Chains A and B, each alone.
Chain A
Amino acid sequence: MNSKESNLRSKVEEGHYTMLRRDFLLSGASGLGALAVSNLLGGAMDSINRHTAVNPLEEKPPHFPGKAKNCIFIFNAGAPSQLDLFDYKPKLNEYDGQPLPDSLTEGVRFAFLQKETARLMGSQRKFKRHGQAGMWFSDALPHISACADDICMIQSMQTDQFNHHPGQLLMQCGQAQFGLPSMGSWISYGLGTQNQNLPSYVVLSSGRGPSGGATLWHNGFLPSVHAGVLFRNQGAPILNLEMPPGLPPELERKGLDVLGELNRQRFQKVQDSEISSRIANYELAFRMQMAAPELTDLSGESDANLESYGVDRAEPERRSGRVGSGNHHSTFGANCLLARRLVERGVRFVNIMFASWDHHSNLDAELGYNAACVDQPIGALIKDLKQRGLLDETLVVWGGEFGRTPLGENRIGRAGVTGRDHHPNAFSMFMAGGGAKPGSVYGKTDELGWAPVVDPIHINDFQATLLHMFGMDHRQLTFRHQGIDKRLTSITRESSVINELLS
């Protein structure tokens, strides 16, 4: 117990604290105590939902032992070109400018590309093998490729969506629908969190942010404590965290004591446990206010570390038009460092959002900009986690919502072919740590990178595998909503855990 907690305990007499806690636990789960209701209503709502009679964020055991305890999911919204980063296709360069046979494109839908006249487009990037597995990376990612021996590369991802927002929803929430909980919310719901003074699920964003916006870190039908909390890049990380200007902390503390006391008197009168939860939550808010400054205070980080994450990097002169204004090199570096600090403090799930990678045109220059922005901090993150012994329990994931076409994009009304269109057929993702098989490559696409030739992985399979790494069975992690036991993966699709991805 840290000193702040012991302070709190000394403030509230032991017995009362226990009472508060129990009441908080009982009522916090959802609006209408789902558990108790079910007994009266003919079992219409069983204890299917993973509410135990505890604080909804209290740590819960997984279904079976899992290696991963925390996740840092780096979501590259807009869909980065796998063909210019990971999936090396010399034949594509050889056939540059050639049409594809009709048989390949029949029935395939594109966003902008005109099938009849489209031509293959080789990559301008130089590729090299890295690490013991000889993993291919392009020269755009020198720092990440240096971590090849820790990386579990997937070359055969597939999705069934080819527009951004639906594709992003599928990747983050398991289905291309609005109003569903995201992966982070599911994991928070399933396992709770280790640090009760910080949110269980934090979202860090740089660039213009994914087009799906907050729908990508929403709690959906799960209790709202499992929603992703978007940290700001400037000022206090959490909205409304800062006490009002002019008010001294000691007066705030005294005020909260009085507030708690008045609420307790009300509780004595009406005996509603919601009041106890409210009291506990005002205390939690205060503890968060105390904990957050320490979290974001980087003064304890070594200069070498700050430099390796690139926290103070200047923005290059040639910028990408797709990421919006601001210093993204610096912000992304700081977000990676903050992500490490968050998992170090027991935050369960961190989403780092970076957008946009939607390179329909000007691919070479803009991909170069984005890669330079993210490469160094991600490389530093993997190394730093490893050095601190955190990588074994921290799963780092890198991916976008789909891939990009081997065909150049010949959009009507646009001069020149300088980009690639959306490609749901095949794309790459990678993982590191958290029980992902290090130094391995899974899946393979054909010689043009059009489609997997072996081991295709649907996004739902990937999600089932991710939950498995946390010790959870995607079929068992359910929440009953509108009569259906909802889960992260689609109910109508058979999804499977890909054992070959596990160490």
Chain B
Amino acid sequence: MITHLYILSFNLIFLNLVSGQSIHFQTEVRPILMEHCAECHGGVKKASGFSVLSRASMLQEGDSGDPGFVAGNSEESALITRIRSKDLDERMPPEGQDALSAHQVEVLTKWVDQGAPWPQHWAFASIQGQDVPRGVHPIDYFVNQRLDSEGLTSSSRAEPSTLVRRLFLDLTGLLPDMESLNTFVADPSGLNYEGLVDQLLTSPHFGERWGRHWLDEARYADSLGYEKDSVKKDAWRYRDWVVNVLNQGMPFDQFSRHQLAGDLIPEAAQETLIATKLHLQTQFNLEGGIDAEEDRVKRVVDRVNMVSSTWLGLTVACSQCHDHPYDPITQREYYSLYAFFNNMDEDASFLSDNPNNAESILNERVGIAEKLDQMLSRQITDKNLNNQTVGLLGKLFNFDGGKGLTRHMRERVENRRETFVMKRGDFLRPDSKQGVVFPGTPRIFPPLRDEIQLHDRLDLVDWLFSGKHPTTARVAVNKVWMRLFGQPLVDTVQDFGSRGAQPTHPELLDWMSAWWQSEAQWSLKRLIKWIVMSDTYQQSSAHRPELKRVDPDNRFLARQNRFRVEAEIIRDISLQTAGLLNLHLGGPAVFPPIPDAVLNQSFTKYGGNSKGRDRYRRGIYTFFRRTAIDPNMMVFDCPDASASKAMRDRSNNALQAMTTLNNEVFLEAAQSWSAKLLQALPDATDDLRMNHTFQSALGREPSAEEKAQLIQMLQEARDWFQGHDKEAVEFLGPYASNEMNPSEQAAWMTLLRLILNLDEFFTRE
């Protein structure tokens, strides 16, 4: 700050005196280069042969014959001369764009004079653990250190009832049962807290909760996408695999290994093959007239992009067509990642329900698949075969679905495809001049093990989990943190590249990453427990007026965050409170009520309303048709499965209000709850019922003020419905009961519907 004042007030000669103060590359220099130079002098366009992507590229001689700068000598540096120039033909940025500000010019000048240091981007540098004093939770140590330096203090521990609700929602996505709630509120000791954490981590609903997070990243759906959007009858097996292994506590390295390369694991179990269905979450185009090879290439590209954003924390999609505009990743490196996935084929087998004639069915399938394969290789030279290949592809898909086969991936052994860089990403323009591209990883990362020549996906997994990789653990830990605090430490959860955000707590992120990969052996449950045991996690989430000015977004973590729960969870807890939720685990997807107008959006309508208790399953089990997504999910920001999504949006809009007020699912919850409440407490006072209601929905008792307002509301509703039995019965729908007074039940339903719409109800505090 002081430096800035000097620049503004004194002349250039004086500036040289202060140039001893070092310029910070990442926060001062790089933003200028990225904002003002990289669009023309970056990875995509290297106008005049000059690029600001790396120090080396800036030092290369451009078309002008000069390097971008001479380290230590701004006077001799073209970069500085050009940004200082008053001649519009000379000046950079060029005419039509604003010149750099005096301050920006000085930053760059000083940076060059100081030798143009270019420190490694934080996320690509190796993870740095550091010693932490004994006796304090490392999370609290790092967070408090930061708070101290800002002159802030953490918040006190949340109310016990809030804590129970928070833990239940975070770990299982359900509301606490009365017994757990009462037990903990009666004795909220640390010991009991830990007991509750352990109990929830072994709940089968833990896998559903954290599995759903993973399914967002896996872009999981029950249909193939594109025009036909055909239904995948076996997709749920992958969903169940995810839920099951998370419940079993499979560590993240194994979890990744099975999904990325399960088919290559020697003597892989059938369940491990199911894991490779991760790669089948890409969309398939079975539209008439498409090019099957083009569509296959799109799927491989999609896999590369998913793996990269999910595990590496890098957005590399742009390098399919050209070098990365902002990060030092070349197009060729993109295709070396692509090469890992270019020889995968869709195979299928019986996993359970083995019929007697399994062998002949599988042989029949092999026949179709081989024919398709031959056709595809001929199609590359004869495009007129497009339709036949697409036809065969559809036939194969229908065959699998019809015979009850489960699809998975398999590395092809014969007729292996060679990988080439594709000019501008066009599959019809392989760049043979650049030669065959072999599987490999970007040079910004530590190398693959080099004793072998041809790497496969298992090597890729080994590389990710070697313990030396700079982003694998950081990226994953950041996402776990986000689930437990409502916001991550690095805001751009899928982009740790140079355009991504900086971590708010870099030391904490590194400490956790180092601890997780060595000490905790990639165990997700241990990581979660470790985080929720910290005081930082257990803080109250209430906003504090004094923090509003200094830290409105709570980046220093002087409190927990309160946030709306996700689409599926709003559904789950509404049904749970209403006594409707069916907690059955796993199995084929189900069809809760979805309006015809939505179902008709698909090419062919599929699925009607599920009968019986299937109507009330948890949201994770709702059939996910890409072209007809349940509007109750979409309106609350459920991702559309088009691409890997680690961080959901959390919008707040009027259509959401209409959904929870009027939609069939939520209305039924209010109807059912009114019947349940009056059955459970037939002769109770309003007061008692009100307490019960608050306890089950919000985990607390109502305040006197709340109670007074609601009872007045109840009375008005009673008054009205007493003269309107017909309307009362209509309002209660199928839950109108002969044994109860309809006007009394309808009055309570009016009130319960409001409770289900309270901000507090669907907020995790």
Q: What is A's interface to B at a CB cutoff of 8 Å?
A: 27-28, 30-33, 36-37, 40-46, 109-112, 114-116, 162-166, 178-179, 199, 208-209, 211-215, 218, 223-225, 229-230, 232-234, 238-248, 250-251, 254-255, 258-259, 261-263, 265-266, 269-272, 274-275, 277-279, 281-282, 284-285, 288-289, 411-412, 421-422, 482-484, 492
Contact = CB atoms under 8 A, between A and B. Distances in A.
B642 interface: yes
Contacts of B384: 114-116
B492 A255 contact: no
Interface string B359-374: 0000000000000000
B640 A41 contact: no
B67 interface: no
Contacts of B656: 281
B280 interface: no
Interface stretch (B329-337, B500-508, B674-682): B500-508
B621 interface: no
Given A246-B727, A246-B730, A271-B543, A255 B287 contact: no
Contacts of B555: 37, 40
A50 B562 CA distance: 26
Interface string B490-521: 01101101111110100000000000000000
24 contacts: A28-B653, A41-B502, A44-B492, A45-B491, A164-B227, A178-B642, A178-B643, A211-B228, A211-B287, A213-B627, A215-B626, A223-B649, A232-B597, A238-B658, A246-B727, A246-B729, A251-B716, A251-B717, A262-B710, A275-B759, A278-B759, A281-B653, A288-B658, A412-B387
Contacts of B717: 251
Contacts of A27: 652
A254 B731 contact: no
A214 B651 contact: no
Contacts of B634: 214
Interface of B: 26-27, 31, 35, 44, 225-229, 283, 285, 287-291, 315, 318, 321-322, 325-326, 383-384, 386-387, 487, 491-492, 494-495, 497-502, 504, 541-545, 548, 552-553, 555, 562-564, 595, 597-598, 600-603, 626-629, 631, 634-635, 637, 640, 642-643, 647-659, 661-663, 667, 703, 705-706, 709-710, 713, 716-717, 720, 724, 726-733, 746, 750, 753-754, 757-760, 763, 765
Contact of B713 (A243, A254, A274): A254
Contacts of A266: 758-760
A428 to B, nearest CB: 21
A42 B502 contact: yes
Contacts of A259: 754, 757-758
Contact of B709 (A213, A241, A262): A262
B231 to A, nearest CB: 14
Contact of B628 (A163, A213, A412): A213
Contacts of A281: 652-654, 656-657
B706 A265 contact: yes
B716 A270 contact: no
A245 B703 contact: no
A483 B631 CA distance: 29
Nearest to B498: A483
Contact of A44 (B500, B640, B663): B500
B542 A482 contact: no
B391 to A, nearest CB: 10
Nearest to A35: B553
Nearest to A30: B649
A258 to B, nearest CB: 5
Nearest to B747: A251
Nearest to A196: B654
A254 B713 CA distance: 8
B653 A225 contact: yes
A250 B724 CA distance: 14
- Most chain A CB within 10 A, of B384, B386, B595, is at B384
A272 B543 contact: yes
A116 to B, nearest CB: 8
B657 A262 contact: no
Contacts of A32: 487, 491, 553, 650
Contacts of A278: 652, 657, 759
A37 B318 CA distance: 26
Contacts of A243: 661-662
A-B interface, 10 closest residue pairs, ranked by CB to CB distance from nearest: A111-B289, A483-B499, A246-B731, A246-B730, A178-B642, A213-B627, A271-B543, A211-B227, A179-B642, A31-B650
A484 B499 contact: yes
B643 A179 contact: yes
B743 to A, nearest CB: 11
A240 B658 CA distance: 6
Nearest to A421: B289
Residue among A36, A179, A251 with max Cβ neighbours from chain B (10 Å): A251
Given A240-B662, A240-B663, A258 B627 contact: no
A484 B662 CA distance: 39
Contacts of A275: 759
Contact of B654 (A31, A258, A285, A482): A285
Contacts of A212: 227, 627
A116 B385 CA distance: 13
A484 B655 CA distance: 29
A218 B640 contact: yes
A492 B331 CA distance: 15
A36 B562 CA distance: 17
A163 B652 contact: no
Contact of B657 (A30, A284, A484): A284
Given A36-B553, A213-B601, A422 B709 contact: no
Most A C-beta atoms less than 10 A away, residue of B27, B383, B661, B709: B661
A379 to B, nearest CB: 28
Contacts of A233: 597
Contacts of B228: 211
A30 B649 CA distance: 7
Contacts of B595: 232, 239
A164 B287 contact: yes
A178 B710 CA distance: 46
A445 B288 CA distance: 27
Contacts of A239: 595, 597-598, 631, 655, 658-659, 663
B654 A163 contact: no
Contact of B322 (A114, A422, A492): A492
A208 B601 CA distance: 7
A325 to B, nearest CB: 10
Contacts of A247: 727, 731, 750
Given A265-B703, A270-B541, A483-B492, 11 more contacts: A41-B501, A42-B27, A46-B35, A112-B289, A163-B287, A179-B642, A224-B637, A239-B597, A246-B727, A266-B759, A274-B759
Nearest to B228: A211
A492 B44 contact: yes
Contacts of B631: 239
Nearest to B488: A32
B315 A483 contact: yes
Contacts of B642: 178-179, 215
Contact of B494 (A45, A218, A224, A482): A482
A40 B657 contact: no
Nearest to B706: A262
A258 B288 CA distance: 55
Best-buried of B487, B497, B543 by chain A (most CB within 10 Å): B543
A405 B744 CA distance: 68
Nearest to B295: A163
B470 to A, nearest CB: 18
Contact of B629 (A40, A214, A244, A263): A214
B572 to A, nearest CB: 19
Given A248-B720, A265-B705, A42 B31 contact: yes
Contacts of B754: 255, 258-259, 262
Nearest to B652: A277
A492 B600 CA distance: 36
A263 B553 contact: no
